[in-house]
Structure 1
Amino acid sequence: MDKISVLGVILGLVAIVLGQWLEGGHISSLLQFTAFLIVMGGTIGAVMLQTQMRHFIAGIKMLRWIFFPPTMDFKKLLATLVNWATQARRGGLLALEAFFNSEKDPFVRRGLQMVVDGAEPETIRRAMELDIDAYEDQARAAAKIWEAAGGYSPTFGILGAVLGLIHVMENLSDPSKLGAGIAVAFVATIYGVGAANMFFLPVANKLKHYILLEVRRREMVAEGLVTIANGENPRLLENKLSGFLHH
């Protein structure tokens, strides 16, 4: 579990609630279902309107990365590629077929299969680069739903505020109904701005970071397999790929 993400969410919520309490306000005044419905319902609807279904579903599934990030051990990957290069140097490219059967990553399996089949290094590079580009486009489109939500939610917060004020204006003759309308107006704005800046936009930025790391990992795999296909020395491969560790 990503502890800093959990701590960030808790700290943000505690800061808002504690600030409300220190100002002498009631915590219950922040809980307005009508305001929540306007902001969240409107935001989700707008995001769904601009997004393809497959990207929307993929973006929702990616949310788990915020608290359970994908494992990307670049040092272990480097050691694996060096081992493959050593085995290929000793027993030829067909020696890598044993590693193909135990590999679970589809991207690595495709590249390894091309190496075992004796494909030209440049052919392997082009195929894997196309695969990387396709992955990056799809992943960024999925992560963009959170960025879009961060853009829409403040607007729906303002919309909720306007609706609340309309309700107030319609009931000026009945003071007992003024409080509810004003509460919805201000709380809707809090929900819209707060959700955007404390959740939607941070989630989008963190997902982009993980996508970048995954792209770097795939580039490392592609460069390693091309180097192996070229029959280069394992030490040269290690020196070439060590730069990826700095990412």
Structure 2
Amino acid sequence: MDLTVVLGILGAITSLSLGDSLEGGNPIHLVHITSLIIIFPTAMLASMVATDGEYVKGAYKNLGFVFKKNPVDLHARIKQIIELATLARREGLLALEQKVAQIDNPFLKQGLSMAVDGNEIDTIHETMERVIEETEEFWHGCAHYWIVAGETSPVMGLVGAVMGLILALQKLDNPKEMAEGIAGAFTATVTGIFSAYVVLGPIGSKMKAKSHHLVKEQQLMLEGIIGIVHGDNPRTLEAKLLNFLSPMEEKHSQFD
């Protein structure tokens, strides 16, 4: 589980509740069922209008991706590629045929299959670059859905507040009920802003950020495939692939 997501949301709720409590309020009063119904479903449905159906489906199907740890292990992927490069350099590309069948990553499997089949480097590069572009476009579209939902939420909160005020003003003959109605109306504004900047919007941004790891892995694999076809020295190829690691990651060579 990605603790930055869970702790971020829970921490935001806690700090908001603590601030309200210190001012003598009761955080439970901020939870207004009507406001939740008006804002969340409406914002997500409105976001569907601005998003292609394929990406809407992908946004929900891959929602769990936001809460999971980064599935990409570049160190392990580099090690795998260097092992394949060593075998290819020693025994030739055809020696990879049996190994390719055992690869579970579709991108790497496709690229190496093209190499084993004797395709030119330019053909492999052009084909796999298209796959990378489509991957990037797909995840951008899925993330965009949640980002648009987040951008819509504050407006839906305002709509909910206005609707609540209209109903509250109809109770002028009962000041107590009118005051309760006004208080309930303003919870819609709070809910709308909260959902935009703590839940829906951040979910989209996190999905987009995590997808960059998937794209980087594909770029690394493509560089590795091209190196294997070129017959690059495994040590030299490894040094090139290690440059894909972020400055926060230590670069360990398996040849040391």
Q: Shorter-normalised TM-score: what interval?
A: over 0.9
Q: What amino acid does structure 2 have at the position aligned with 1:55? A: Y
Partner residue of 1:205? 205
Secondary structure of 2:155's partner? helix
How far apart in 2 are the matches of 1:91 and 1:111? 19
TM-score, scaled relative to structure 1:
0.95
Partner residue of 2:30? 30
Moved more, 202-211 or 120-129: 202-211
Partner residue of 1:49? 49
1:73 matched to 2:106? The reply is no
Secondary structure of 1:219's partner? helix
How far apart in 2 are the matches of 1:125 and 1:68? 31
8 Å Cα contact 1:29/1:183 also seen in 2:
no
Unpaired runs of at least 5, structure 2: 248-256
How far apart in 2 are the matches of 1:232 and 1:118? 17
How far apart in 1 are the matches of 2:6 and 2:57? 23
Q: CA deviation at 1:176?
A: 4.0
Q: CA deviation at 1:63?
A: 2.0
Query: For residues 184-231 of structure 1, what are the alpha-carbon distances to aligned partners after superposition, in whole Å with 9 as ceiling and x for unaligned?
Result: 321000100001111122222211111111111100001110111112
Partner residue of 1:221? 221
8 Å Cα contact 1:165/1:185 also seen in 2:
yes
Partner residue of 1:154? 154
How far apart in 2 are the matches of 1:80 and 1:26? 56
8 Å Cα contact 2:43/2:153 also seen in 1:
yes
8 Å Cα contact 2:93/2:229 also seen in 1:
yes
Query: For residues 81-109 of structure 1, what are the alpha-carbon distances to aligned partners after superposition, in whole Å with 9 as ceiling and x for unaligned?
Result: 11111100111101111221111111111
8 Å Cα contact 1:139/1:211 also seen in 2:
yes
Q: What amino acid does structure 2 have at the position aligned with 1:106? A: P
Q: CA deviation at 1:246?
A: 2.5
Query: For residues 94-152 of structure 1, what are the alpha-carbon distances to aligned partners after superposition, in whole Å with 9 as ceiling and x for unaligned?
Result: 11112211111111111111011111111111100001001111110011111101110
Partner residue of 2:254? none
1:89 matched to 2:92? The reply is no
How far apart in 1 are the matches of 2:133 and 2:28? 48
The within-5 A match list for 1:133-172 is: 133-172=133-172
Secondary structure of 2:245's partner? helix
Q: What amino acid does structure 2 have at the position aligned with 1:126? A: E
Moved more, 188-197 or 102-111: 102-111
Q: CA deviation at 1:58?
A: 0.8
Which structure shows the higher helix fraction? 1
8 Å Cα contact 1:156/1:192 also seen in 2:
yes
1:177 matched to 2:177? The reply is yes
Query: For residues 17-71 of structure 1, what are the alpha-carbon distances to aligned partners after superposition, in whole Å with 9 as ceiling and x for unaligned?
Result: 2222221112331121111111112201201222222211211222212221341
How far apart in 1 are the matches of 2:190 and 2:79? 50
How far apart in 2 are the matches of 1:202 and 1:188? 19
Partner residue of 2:252? none
How far apart in 2 are the matches of 1:57 and 1:81? 33
Partner residue of 1:187? 187
